[in-house]
Amino acid sequence: MFSDKVRIFIKSGKGGDGHVSFRRELYVPAGGPDGGNGGHGGDIIFQVDKGLNTLGDFRHNSKYIAQSGEEGGKKRCTGKNGEDLIIKVPEGTVIYDDESGKVIADMSGDNMKETILKGGRGGKGNMNYATSTMQAPQYAQPGQDAQELWVRLELKVIADVGLVGFPNVGKSTFLSRVTNARPKIANYHFTTLNPNLGVVDLDGGKGFVIADIPGLIEGASEGVGLGHQFLRHIERTKVIIHIVDAASTEGRDPIADIKAINKELENYNPKLLERPQVIAANKIDVIYNDGSDPVQAIRDAFEPEGIKVYPISAVTGQGVKELLYAVRTLLDNFKDEPVLFEKEFDYDELMDNPNESFEVSINEDGVYVVNGPKIDKIAKEGNPDAIVFPRAHVDDAPYDFSFSGIKSSVLNYINSAEMKGGTINRADVAASFQKAVVEALVTRAINLAKETGMNQLAVAGGVASNSALRKALSEECDKNNIRFYSPSPILCTDNAAMIGCAAYYEYMAGTRHGYDLNAVPNLKLGERI
């Protein structure tokens, strides 16, 4: 069975949990924490397989789940990463988010392989949370949850030329004559149930791919007949050939048929009428000579619109060569850009994972601190002016401040709303809180830079991942002729990544050390060893 549209469930692998354990060896009664990190979950990857031409395999399996990462182990052992799951699809497959209908990926052209869902990050083991004041942490970070999604796969045949026409007008016969395709041919409607492809070979190596698009009748764009099922395949084509029964062997009016099909194409996608078209007036070998000229009538109706008409007989081959070379000329003049569907799906906006990207650290007082981009994401959905939170300041120390007052105000606001039975808009609270914090940081940073005569400003650490802060600092620096530096957001939530990046630039600058290099805490800003 030919399958060109399926719905499947995909899920990446969950990250493995961090491990809690302590070193226990003979003569080492008080070994420190040695719980390892969890492994990363496997990704969901779609890959084009040139050997596939249908989505039929997905009829038997509708769920695809990547392997989860393993839990971290004792002795600082990192859990094994989950294996990626590679899902093979035919070229021309478009992947949609089933709920929103947005395009996730178009597996065509140069896009032969794409990661659709990322596996969860492995959690950190308790070895990462040891400090001088917290030498036996009992906490390990859980692995990040997997991402899951229902997607719709649609196969849109990739061909240079599409054959359209009502049933039984000779499309399959034409295709079998001009290509190596062998479609089923019979004298009844809807003989062709699959989009058949064939390669036309012309002199000089200027061949092209042609596809027979079956099932087009009036109402096809609304789901009547088989047309709605196969209309999607015409979207890839560059040139359209209308094949009509010029002899009216079934009593149909060829002019009315062409107008009806163009109407269906327009209803399905108005851009289809912008494609170059030609008309193949087929079955001229059986035209009854009664003094009328049906081919000329077709020409009179459509050639004034710029659509050329070519009389042919798919059975005898008469006029076929002229038609093919005319199509080749249209293809040569066509702007040769592959018809690709633009990506519309934004994972960050549509995937609401409550456990996404967070970090757990311990401050100087031994207090666990949870942070990450979650607040940044939800703040983008809220109104930053909905709630006015205070901006902390010290009269005699303009650059000193504390966020304790802002945090207390947020807590008081929430408590007051709950006591009154009011509704708390989390997004508005997050956006308003973020605005207060950003204004406090940006105002002081810019004023201090101007007062000290500094013309460069850099932001780093976890706070640098906040998009609102980065944007505000960048804009204010531009206004005040201050050069602004910020690391890539991907480096802002992982200390190891930031250290590695700094080490890279130190190495490129010529810094070298021996194997006796040790860590030196509490270095002053800019100080080197």
CATH number at residue 146: 2.70.210.12
**CATH number of the domain bearing residue 213:** 3.40.50.300
**76: containing domain:** 1-155
As a whole number, the mean pLDDT across the chain is 79
Domain boundary (310, 333, 356) is at 333
Q: Are residues 93 and 175 in the same domain?
A: no
For the record, the structure tokens of 142 come out as 């859980």
Q: Are residues 381 and 271 in the same domain?
A: no
pLDDT, tens digit (0-9, with 9 covering 90-100), for 497-506: 777 777 888 8
Q: Are residues 167 and 148 in the same domain?
A: no
Q: Are residues 1 and 144 in the same domain?
A: yes
Q: Are residues 318 and 398 in the same domain?
A: no
Q: Which residue carries 């039929």 as its tokens?
A: 56
Q: Are residues 186 and 150 in the same domain?
A: no
Give the SS3 label for residue 328.
helix
Q: Tell me the range of 22-26, 224-228, 265-269, 297-301 where mean pLDDT is highest.
A: 297-301
pLDDT, tens digit (0-9, with 9 covering 90-100), for 251-303: 888 898 888 888 888 887 787 888 889 999 988 888 877 777 888 999 999 99
Domain boundary (116, 138, 155) is at 155
Kindly report each contact of residues 58-61 with a partner whose C-beta sits within 8 Å and lies 24 or more positions away, as own/partner.
58/3, 58/6, 58/8, 58/153, 59/1, 59/3, 59/6, 61/8
**CATH number of the domain bearing residue 467:** 3.30.420.40
Which pLDDT score is estimated for 45?
95
Q: How confident is the model at residue 474 (pLDDT cuts 50, 70, 90)?
A: very high
Q: Which residue carries 């709950």 as its tokens?
A: 418
Domain boundary (136, 155, 174) is at 155
Q: Are residues 174 and 143 in the same domain?
A: no
Q: What is the pTM of this model?
A: 0.49
Q: Are residues 408 and 500 in the same domain?
A: yes
Q: Which residue carries 């906006």 as its tokens?
A: 349
Q: Tell me the range of 40-49, 153-162, 481-490 where mean pLDDT is highest.
A: 40-49
Residues 6+ apart with CB under 8 A from 202: 208, 324, 325, 328
Q: Are residues 287 and 403 in the same domain?
A: no
β partners of residue 277: 240
Q: What angle do CA 105, 109, 115 make, to 5 degrees?
A: 35
Q: How confident is the model at residue 29 (pLDDT cuts 50, 70, 90)?
A: low
Distance, CA of 228 to CA of 389 (rounded, Å): 56
Residue 235 lies in a domain: yes
Q: Are residues 322 and 380 in the same domain?
A: no
Which pLDDT score is estimated for 224?
44
- How many separate domains does the chain show? 3
